[in-house]
Structure 1
Amino acid sequence: MKLSFEQHLPASPEAVWPFITDPDRMNLWSLAMIQRLAAGDGGAPGGIGELRRVTVRSLGSVVRFDEVIEHATPGRRLVYRVVAGLPVRYHRGEITLAPTETGTLLRWDVEYAFSLPGLSIGAQAVLGPQLKSSLAGLARVCEDAPPASYQRSGWYDDSDDDPRVWEDAERILVEQRAIADRLEAANDRKQWFARVYEYVTETQIAYCRTGRTSHRGWVLRLIPRFHDYYIDNLRRFTGEAEGPAEHHWHGAFGAMERGHPRLRSPGEIFAHGLLLGIRAHVEQDLPRALADVYLSHYAHRCCYGRLRADYLLMNGIFRYSADRLLERVPRAYLPPLAWMLGPMVPPEARDALMARRFYDMATARRVAFERGGTLARERLTRKTHCSQLEATG
């Protein structure tokens, strides 16, 4: 479903921009309340990667959801996507500002698809009047506002700067598929995590190929860094490399192979081992890999927060990869409800059930991204401190 609105504003596009990006100014006219949760690129309101929380009050109820700024051209165009809090399959908003002789023509397009058709109709009934009323308020508060200046950034992708990033990612995919095949042939329980890891990598590359990520070079560089942590620990655990595996991977691989004393059924053993593998990757390896790649390739080009949009918008990869894995898993490994209701239940409802009963992947990934930023800042601080010490002799 798509909603479109237009509003003439008695101010220039450069003057209007702060009123559609700065939560303090947005709350002067918007019926929805806006709160900035994390800054995007550059730190100023409206930066790519900025995370915001929106609170909508209507018909005696309160709805809160989070959105991330995906694209931003100051004074011209803002694109945001809902990433949490609504049962939507897709939600994208785009605001464009065009100069006119007497000010600015604002166009606001909202595209969305809820998991249940009835919700889309209900959302239209609430959203339409609220946005119209809010835009009328915007016209009042921005009248004769002075223009502002902005630091523009047109950089998005660098994957073509070094063709090896594509080659390295494809090479990793081939290696991961071979590992999963080898473990499957040996009837090794570590095969399940290896297989879902392969599917995640394959889908990440597909996202890059089809233009579903803006910073393709960044996504492609993450793939071998994730893999380095994983394969090093796997080889150490199996004795193919010297030294012990890290604690989180030692526990995960051990659980995959041996299960747990309190778990007896094949399904419980499968789920427990897979969960520990996912946690090892998301909670331990992911923040380190994010910091590694940012510091090695992007710290001189952008703020860490700029990459948040692409990161959050890849959440669907993990649902898709999990669904592919479940197609291969023996039915005996799954509770009857899982395979009976799977095709009948909307993916968003299955995500919510998975978050409550198994693992809240979306929340864990958000935490991991912010931890990666903390690690990057700590390393930059240490590096600066060391440089200062060396300079002073």
Structure 2
Amino acid sequence: MLTDPEQMNRWSTARIEVREPGVGDRPDGVGTLRTVTLPGGRAKLREIVEYSDFARVFDYRVYDGGPALLDHSGRQEIAPTATGCTVTWTVRMRLVSRVATSLVARTVRRQVAESLDLLADLKPGDPASAPTVEPRVVADLAEPRRVARDVLARQHATADRLTAADDPKQWFARVYSYVTDELIGVCDRGDVDNPDWVLALIPVFDEYYTRNLIAFERGDQCEPMWQTAWSTCELRDDRNPHVPVVKGLMSGVAAHIDADLPRAISDLHLAEYADRDLREFRPDYLRLSPVFSTASDRLLDDLPRSHKPWWTGIAARVHPQIRDALIARQGYDVQRHRFSAFAAAVELAS
């Protein structure tokens, strides 16, 4: 009644639709994607189911609610009582300003209360079958962390080599190493549920990246998107030096996301995680989205003044999520392409 959209739409003041089922093809399994249309029909939220302890705890998070919504997550908890059960529904949200957060939270609180009142008066549907959940084995991270740090050291060395040669490919090589560094940091901080999976992806990504860079430097044919990326990275413009830098970065990011991400995720899954549903890892994958923004900010700090786009000073005063949304409208939409890349990986792995 609380988590299956077909049942939820009997009582929820917001319309809930399954965009893609999660683990076990369930409408409430981990990794399920849902679209929530708020009352009035003008605003939509896109959610992902992050955790489910069936019949007790259910967690979800909004991964796309527009640039003004910085954070929005919910937890539904069920506790048995002598005469039935108590439902506790906690919603946490943060918008770009405190005033906006307070106003929207007040509205959401009222709508949730109205919805639960309707739910309490409904006759339950047929009991749902409990999902089969395999106990998660906590992986030893020592070896995958060592391998990831070795990869990071090689990537730093590559960026240093290109920098010493005044090779303009240095900028993408540097930001690539920052992405790897940030991925390791996410795992070290415990920001993901499956750090072993994230760490194991790093050397798989690196294999595609390094192989294509070596081929390009030797004059051999490399894969089409990487051929375009490295060629773009080598462009120079003495009058507007920031232009080829930005174009090279965007071209390299496109090669990494569009060409490498789907096959890297699929390859790793089939090699090491074939006994698990790939959709189980989608919440962690979406949690990694800020890594690209953070890596880009680090690179901007490295760029000489002449190589920085004119808008960087203004962008630094704007929240990264709003800034990324504005940039996406003008060029390559990182978040949209990352989203598509995971869907492509699921298709490849199946």
TM-score, length of structure 1 as denominator length: 0.85
Q: Given the alignment of the two structures, is residue 169 of structure 1 paired with residue 148 of structure 2, yes or no?
A: yes
Contact 1:159–1:165 (CA<8 Å) still a contact in 2? no
Q: Aligned residue for 1:246?
A: 223
- 1:39-118 mapped onto 2 (5 Å cutoff): 39-58=21-40, 62-86=42-66, 87-118=68-99
Paired AA for residue 243 in structure 2: E
Corresponding residue for 2:190?
Answer: 211
1:101 Cα deviation from its structure 2 partner: 1.1
Instruction: Confirm or deny that 1:221 pairs with 2:194.
Output: no
Aligned to 1:130: 111
Cα displacement (A) at 1:360:
0.8
Q: CA deviation at 1:122?
A: 1.8
Q: Is the 8 A contact 1:233 1:245 kept in 2?
A: yes
Contact 2:175/2:296 (8 A) holds in 1: yes
- CA offset digits 1:323-349 (Å, max 9, x no partner): 11111112222332322x123212222
Q: Determine helix, strand or coil for the equivalent of 1:178.
A: helix
Cα displacement string for residues 157-215 of structure 1 (whole angstroms, at most 9, x for unaligned residues)? 6531x642121111111111111111112211111111111111111111111111111
In the TM superposition, what whole-angstrom CA distance separates every residue of 1:208-263 from its partner, at most 9, and x where no partner exists? 11111111111111110000000001111111xx9421111111111111359xx9
Give the secondary-structure state (helix, strand or coil) at the position aligned to 1:107.
strand
In 1: Cα distance, 2:39 partner to 2:340 partner: 28
Per the alignment, in what secondary structure is the counterpart of residue 39 of structure 2? strand
Per the alignment, do residues 321 and 328 of structure 1 end up closer, same or farther by CA in structure 2, a change over 3 Å counting? same
SS at match of 1:254: helix
Unaligned runs of 5+ in 2: none
**Is 1:36 paired with 2:13?**
no
- Structure 1 counterpart of 2:333: 360
Secondary structure of the 2:85 match is strand
Counterparts of 1:181 and 1:282 in 2: how far apart (Å)? Answer: 24
Among 142, 150, 155, the alignment partner of 2:130 is 150
C-alpha spacing 1:306/1:211, structure 2 compared with 1 (3 Å): same
1:231 corresponding residue in structure 2 = 210
Alpha-carbon separation, structure 1, partners of 2:53 and 2:109: 25
Same amino acid, percent of matched pairs: 36
Matched letter for residue 96 of structure 1:
E
State which drifts further: 222-231 or 41-50: 41-50
Select 2:252's aligned residue among 270, 277, 281: 277
Q: Between Structure 1 and Structure 2, how many residues are aligned?
A: 349
Quote the Cα distance in structure 2 between the aligned partners of 1:157 and 1:190.
41
| Contact 1:156–1:215 (8 Å) recurs in 2 | no
Residue 326 (structure 1) aligned with residue 300 (structure 2): yes
Whether the aligned pair in 2 keeps the contact of 1:32 and 1:54 (CA below 8 Å) is yes
Equivalent residue of 1:62, what SS?
coil
Question: Residue in 2 aligned with 1:380?
Answer: none
**Higher RCO structure, 1 or 2 (CA under 8 Å, sep 6+):** 1
| Contact residue 75 and residue 90 of structure 2 kept, 8 A | yes
Structure 1: distance between partners of 2:248 and 2:130: 50
Partner residue, 1:296:
271
Moved over 6 A (4+): none
Q: Which has the larger radius of gyration?
A: 1
Give the SS at the match of 2:166: coil
User: Cα distance 1:157–1:196, how it changes in 2: closer, same or farther (>3 A)?
Assistant: farther
Given that residues 82 and 92 in structure 1 are in contact (C-alpha distance below 8 angstroms), is that contact kept between their aligned partners in structure 2? yes
Determine if contact 2:74/2:92 at 8 Å carries over to the other structure.
yes
Q: 1:105 and 1:21, CA in 2 relative to 1: closer, same or farther beyond 3 A?
A: same
- Paired position in structure 2 for 1:15: none
Residue type matched to 1:291 in 2?
Answer: S
Residue correspondence of structure 1 range 351-390 to structure 2 within 5 A: 351-377=324-350
Q: How far apart, CA to CA, are the structure 2 residues paired with 1:370 and 1:264? A: 41
Partners of 1:348 and 1:166 in 2: CA distance? 29
Q: TM-score, normalised by structure 2?
A: 0.95
